Structure formats: structure tokens, C-alpha cells
Amino acid sequence: MTSTATRVLVLNSGSSSVKYQLLDMADGARLAAGLVERIGEETSRLAHTPLATGGDKRERVAPIADHAAALNAVAEELAADGLGLDSPELAAIGHRVVHGGSQFTEPTLITDEVVAEIERLIPVAPLHNPANITGIRTARALRPDLPQVAVFDTAFHTTMPEAAARYAIDVETADAHRVRRYGFHGTSHAYVSRKTAELLGKAPEEVNVIVLHLGNGASASAVRGGRCVDTSMGLTPLEGLVMGTRSGDVDPAVIFHLARNAGMSVDEIDSLLNKKSGLIGLCGDNDMREIRRRIDEGDEQAQLAFDIYVHRLKKYIGAYYAVLGKVDAVAFTAGVGENAAPVREAAVAGLEELGLVVDAGLNGIRSGEARLISPEYARVAVAVVPTDEELEIAAQTYALVSAVSA
């Protein structure tokens, strides 16, 4: 890495999308950002915003067959702005990797052995890790000389005590198949819990925070003094909260029941719980904006979906309050958490005895800034703290390559 190389490209490859950002870590400037969606479909779309030049957002709507083609298209868009992957100013590429098992507790410099290890984790992350690996392979082919770093969703949660991380099933079977609770969205939980401490004017070590990451995937975490002590996702990102298309917690016997009595295969049940459940399964919509619109029109199915979503959320707030004993703040983040005031209001309603109160006026304010929405007298702060997984991945990537080259 040369001293002028301060830029980091962040790649967040999902099952059918790639989100990316190019950041300059010298000043934190965002130079470009974009999204490729519906990869593998006829209607693939790439949207690229050249932030450095202040140019207009560019869109390509044309079939993009796979993640490798997506990344090559992203490289072309960056090159068109003079920000190509061949730039000597590029210090590293940071990859979000969803499942790092128990072994990856830190951001990791990618080698062939690391790729092989991420591959070995595919059985426990079939939707996510294959896309992450393709992203890594393609990026390495484009710039074989450049350091590439894997930043794992699971890393922040590796501090969970065994009492929280283990399922109460036969130990030998569990260990033989690596069945335990790993947790996900860790980069977001780490970033948001730190930002929440900052908002309270305290060091992360001084505060206990419940973080509610409510995006398409959703998870809660209990963070004691900057370390995760429990989180709602488990072996896979299916456990826990009600999500856009995932059920979250169900009695595991639902699976046996459907297999034995509904004639469904394991793959069909997998798809049911991951893709046709949650909000979309309950009311046909997974976007909270649309659900709120329907509720305003008196739609009872949308109202019930909302109520089930909020009921689960409230249960986890209560559970993590008990896990932590003392709570300094509850922080809402990601698409729903940052934008849906009615979700925040309903999740905290009735918890005054726990010191949790939301001020309706503050809750109604729309802003992209981290902010408190609880009244000054409240014993527990309630906050809205925008997450920034890309910035956090870039920061961790840059810190690692700077340390290696120093």
C-alpha cells in the first residue's frame, strides 16, 4: 500500500443484489455508491451515484446473469468516473461476509485458505455465503495485487457467553455439526451501539444498549459495555424477530408437522419460513411503508401483521432488559427502525414502568441524524441511530491494511 492509497471499496453481496461504496478514508468522503439488484433475472438493474463528481445517478436496466457479471459492471461504472479498480489510490477492498462461524472473530485478510474456510461455512449460510465468495473471487481476479479484507456479520457476536450461544440440545450432536447461535448484522450492532454511547456522551464501556436493527432482515442485540452478550438471530438469520419475508421464532415442531402432515419437503419448508413468511406471509407486503398505508385505509390484515411484528419486538426488548439488568439506551436502526415512527412508538408503548418512554413530538421528526426520541426525564434513553455498515466495513478494512503495511 502506497502512502497515497487511502480509498476503500466496500462490497456487500446479498443473495440477489450487490451494494457497494467507494470511500476515501483520509477524510471519510463517499466517492461513489450504488446497487445492483435482481441479479439472475431479466429485469436486473444497476444504479450508480458518482458522489465525487456530483453527477447524476446513472441506471442500467439489462439482464445481469450472476454476481461476477454484476461486479464487472460495477467496475465499469467506477472506471467511467475515473475511479476504476486499477486506481493507485485504492488501498483495499472490504467484503461483507455474512457467516464467519466461531473461527472468525476479527476482520481478516483474505487468502486462499480464508476463502476455503468461508466455503466450508456454506451449509450454515446457504443464502448468503456463496454470493460473498463470488464477490471475493471476482474482486481478486480484477485486482490480484490488492489486499482484500473479509468483515464478518458474526464477528461482533463471538463475545456471547455460552449460556446465550448454545441451544439446549444434545451437546455431541450440536458440536459435531457446529449447531449454535452465531448472530448476524454484527457490523451494524457494533457501529450503532458505539454511536449510541457517543450520543449519550459516554464511552462504550460505560453503557448497556439494546440495539434493534430493523431492515429487511431484522435482529436485536443486548450489548453490555461495548460487548455483545445476546442476539436474536441464531445458527442462521432466520431466528428471532418477525422480518420482511422470514418468520423469526417458531416452535421447531412446526417443521415436523408440515413435513408429516402437509407433505412438504425440507426445501419447501425452508423456502416457506425464509421467503414466504414474516410480513409478506402475513399480509402480502414486506415494505413497512405499504403496510402503514394499508393500515391508514383500515386494512385489518395489514394491522394484524403490524401487531405481530411489534409484539415480537416488544418481547425481545423485555428479554434483553432482563439479560442486561440495567439498560441505558434502546436504539432503533436500519430501514424500518430509522423511518417508521409508528413501529418505535408501539414497541415501547406500555413500558413506562421499565423507564421507557417515547416523546411523540420527537419521534415524529424526520432526520438522518442520530437523535434521542425519549423525553429528558426518562430513565432509559430511546434513540434513533442510523446505521452505516459500509462505513464500518471500510474503517475496519482500512485499519487492518494500515496495520499490516505499517
Ligand X SMILES: CC(=O)OP(=O)(O)O
Q: Is 274 annotated as a binding residue?
A: no
Asked if 182 and 154 touch (Cβ cutoff 8 Å), the reply is: yes
Q: Is 261 annotated as a binding residue?
A: no
Binding residue count for ligand X, defined by CB under 6 A: 9
Strand partners, 386: none
Q: Is 241 in the site for ligand X (CB under 6 A)?
A: no
**CA 205 vs CA 197, 208, 230: distances in Å:** 9, 8, 16
- Length of the chain, please? 406
The nearest distance, CB 334 to ligand ADP, in angstroms, is 4
Q: Is 289 in the site for ligand ADP (CB under 6 A)?
A: yes
**CA 243 vs CA 219, 248, 249, 281, 347: distances in Å:** 9, 7, 10, 10, 15
Nearest to ligand ADP of 146, 391 (CB atom): 391
Q: Is 335 annotated as a binding residue?
A: yes
Select the residue whose beta carbon is closest to ligand ADP and give its number.
Answer: 335
Q: Is 340 in the site for ligand ADP (CB under 6 A)?
A: yes
Q: Is 216 in the site for ligand ADP (CB under 6 A)?
A: yes
359 is catalytic: no
Out of 33, 36, 90, 153, the only residue in the binding site for ligand X (CB under 6 A) is: 153
Based on C-alpha coordinates, what's the Rg of the chain? 21
Site for ligand X in 172-201 (CB under 6 A): 184-185
Pairing of strands 218-224, 381-384: unpaired
Select the residue whose beta carbon is closest to Mg ion and give its number.
Answer: 215
One of 153, 230, 328, 388 is an active-site residue; which one?
Answer: 153
Strand partners, 12: 19
Out of 37, 76, 89, 287, the only residue in the binding site for ligand ADP (CB under 6 A) is: 287
Question: What count of other Cβ atoms lies within 10 Å of the Cβ of residue 57?
Answer: 11
Q: Is 213 annotated as a binding residue?
A: yes
Residue 55 is given by DSSP the state P
**Alpha carbon distance 125, 100 (integer Å):** 9
Q: Is 20 in the site for ligand X (CB under 6 A)?
A: no
Q: Is 100 in the site for ligand X (CB under 6 A)?
A: no
CA count, 13 A, side-chain hemisphere, 299: 16
Q: Is 40 annotated as a binding residue?
A: no
Out of 34, 50, 100, 215, the only residue in the binding site for ligand X (CB under 6 A) is: 215
The nearest distance, CB 184 to ligand X, in angstroms, is 4
The nearest distance, CB 266 to ligand ADP, in angstroms, is 25
Question: What count of other Cβ atoms lies within 10 Å of the Cβ of residue 116?
Answer: 10
The nearest distance, CB 278 to ligand ADP, in angstroms, is 11
Quick one: cell of 360? Answer: 411523540
Nearest to Mg ion of 19, 67 (CB atom): 19
378 Cβ neighbours under 8 A, 6+ residues apart: 355, 356, 357
Out of 50, 100, 107, 237, the only residue in the binding site for ligand X (CB under 6 A) is: 237
What's the farthest any 2 CA atoms get from each other in the chain? 64
282 Cβ neighbours under 8 A, 6+ residues apart: 242, 301, 304, 305, 308
Matching residue, cell 474456510: 117
Q: Is 248 in the site for ligand X (CB under 6 A)?
A: no
Binding residues for substrate: 96
Contact set with ligand ADP (CB under 6 A): 215-217, 244, 286-289, 334-336, 339-340
Binding residues for Mg(2+): 12, 389
Binding residues for ATP: 19, 213-217, 287-289, 335-339
Contact set with ligand X (CB under 6 A): 14, 98, 153, 184-185, 215-217, 237
Catalytic annotation, residues: 153
